[in-house]
Amino acid sequence: MGFHEFTSPYDWSRIAAYKRTAKAAFGGMIDLSVGSPVDPVPESVRAALAQASDAPNAYGYPATIGTVELRDAIAAWFRDCRGVDLAATGAAVVPTVGSKEGVALMASLLHLGDGDVVVQPAVSYPTYEIGTQLAGARTLKVDDVADVESWRHVPGVRAIWVNSPCNPTGVMLTAAQMADIVAAAREIGAVVLSDECYALMTWGSRAGGVTAGAAGAAAGTACGTAPAPCALSHEVCGGSADGILVLYSLSKQSNMAGYRTAFIAGDASLVTPMIAYRKQIGQIIPGPVQAAMVAGLGDHESVRAQHDRYRDRLGMLVSALRAYGYATNMPDGALYVWVKAKSGDCWKDMAALAEIGIIASPGEFYGAPAYLRFSATASDRAIADAAERLVNA
């Protein structure tokens, strides 16, 4: 039947007028809207890419499932940074051309369609809903996915999107909350789709061992970060990957958004058919990029350095937004500061901010028109400049 039609408020052209105003402000525009990395790609990644640029996996067709080295690197990353033994849980893996296509194609690859329901947070990344619409299924938006009673008795629920730490809110679920979601999903035969792309970008008291369990805390220490709980950790899944798919991306941890490097890991009975489909439609990571991905997954030092950059930028941004009049605190995780609009309308606040040259993301894009999202994926200089303007406004 092909792709179904979709609707979405997620259209960056809608902020063009605000950008024109911001560019005319004294000092020019500071764009804190799109969460696109600006820092250098790690040297280890660039070296691996260059070295593999004329290897057999470059001039020949690469494997959909990835090289042995890549699959081993993914398994090692789960072990070292998440405290998860993929083999012990019965999990399989497949690389994806960035996490967005993995999200957008997920409902279709799970053969969901008319009559099927996909649960997602009411405030969330827009591509969850778009992917559900493309498959012809129906979205059920709930205030809190961890409130399993809000969806477990709804007829037709086939999948549940979990995003922790969350884009845009920064909220992070505990291992216990995630375990409840997995248990309820298994009871009704639904799949848990756990978007963990910000798993290593955590801040504050809810990070690390407080929420990730003993294995996650130990793994975080090994990688130098305090990871969010993983849906494939023993504390959450009970040692079995059945009915669970985890998505992860190197875009934020290693500034590799342009490399399009991500993967799905989880229930082998779900991942294996996906591999076959992906092979037929050519959703394959280029060979040299696979080599770069191996380097990125193993370069824990660069990940720690990037983590610290974002922590410092977020701290500066939170303080400045408070001075401007927003009620906000350091997020649990992810790379954004989520605030309620002072005017009560994201677009009115967007207009006021544009007058001092600052562009945020309107909360309407994420399902909350009374909020705004400020991204820390800007340079140190840009964040400092934005902070000065907010404090002095």
Where along the chain do its domains lie?
12-40+302-392, 60-299
- Global pTM? 0.93
pLDDT at 225: 75
Which CATH number does 12-40+302-392 carry?
3.90.1150.10
pLDDT at 220: 58
Task: Pull the structure tokens for residue 370.
Answer: 């009374």
Adjacency order of strands within the sheet including 261-267 = 91-97, 261-267, 244-249, 191-195, 157-163, 117-121, 138-142
Q: Among 232, 355, 387, 252, which residue's Cα sits nearest to residue 307?
A: 252
Bridge pairing between strands 358-359 and 30-31: parallel
Looking at the domain 60-299, which fold is it?
Aspartate Aminotransferase; domain 2 (3.40.640)
Adjacency order of strands within the sheet including 371-375 = 336-340, 371-375, 361-362
pLDDT at 11: 79
HSE value, Cβ hemisphere, 13 Å, CA-based, for 4: 19
pLDDT at 206: 47
pLDDT in tens, the chain (393 residues): 568 877 777 678 899 999 999 999 999 999 999 889 999 999 999 999 999 999 998 889 899 999 999 999 999 999 999 999 999 999 999 999 999 999 999 999 999 999 999 999 999 999 999 999 999 999 999 999 999 999 999 999 999 999 999 999 999 999 999 999 999 999 999 999 999 999 999 997 544 444 455 555 555 556 767 899 999 999 999 999 999 999 999 999 999 999 999 999 999 999 999 999 999 988 899 999 999 999 999 999 999 999 999 999 999 999 999 999 999 999 999 999 999 999 999 999 999 999 999 999 999 999 999 999 999 999 999 999 999 999 998
pLDDT at 172: 97
Distance, CA of 297 to CA of 286 (rounded, Å): 16
Task: Pull the structure tokens for residue 146.
Answer: 């961890």
